[in-house]
Amino acid sequence: MSKEQLTSSDEPMIKDRKRGSVDDSNSFLSSLGIDLSDVRVTLQLKAEDKDMIQSTLKEISDKVDYRWKVTQGIMVVALLLSVGVQVINWL
């Protein structure tokens, strides 16, 4: 804001603007005249790279599944122990 606007009134001028609108997501690029609505990206991988990525993702998935099962087992043991402690306290 200019000094004239601030000195002419006690309060600065506040402008409202829309937030979170889908249409305004490219407002900066649109203001520059750039339209990215028709841009497409295509990735091509070699067969061996694709196989390597798939095998690595499979290994990661297997590790996550195993660790989740271990976590569930620990939770079940903790629940059983807490029930046992509660029963002992009642006696």
Q: What is the pLDDT along the chain (91 residues), one digit of tens a residue?
A: 455 555 555 666 777 766 655 555 557 777 787 777 788 888 898 999 999 999 999 999 999 999 999 999 999 999 999 999 999 999 8
| Contact in structure between 26 and 36 (CB atoms under 8 Å) | yes
Q: Which two tokens stand for residue 60?
A: 């990661």
Q: Which two tokens stand for residue 83?
A: 């029930």
Return the residue matching tokens 């390597």: 52
Mark 24-60 as b/e (b = at least 16 C-beta within 10 Å). Answer: eeeeeeeeeeeeeeeeeeeeeeeeeeeeeeeeeeeee
Read off the pTM: 0.48
Range of the domain at 30: 3-90
Instruction: Provide the number of structural domains found in the chain.
Output: 1
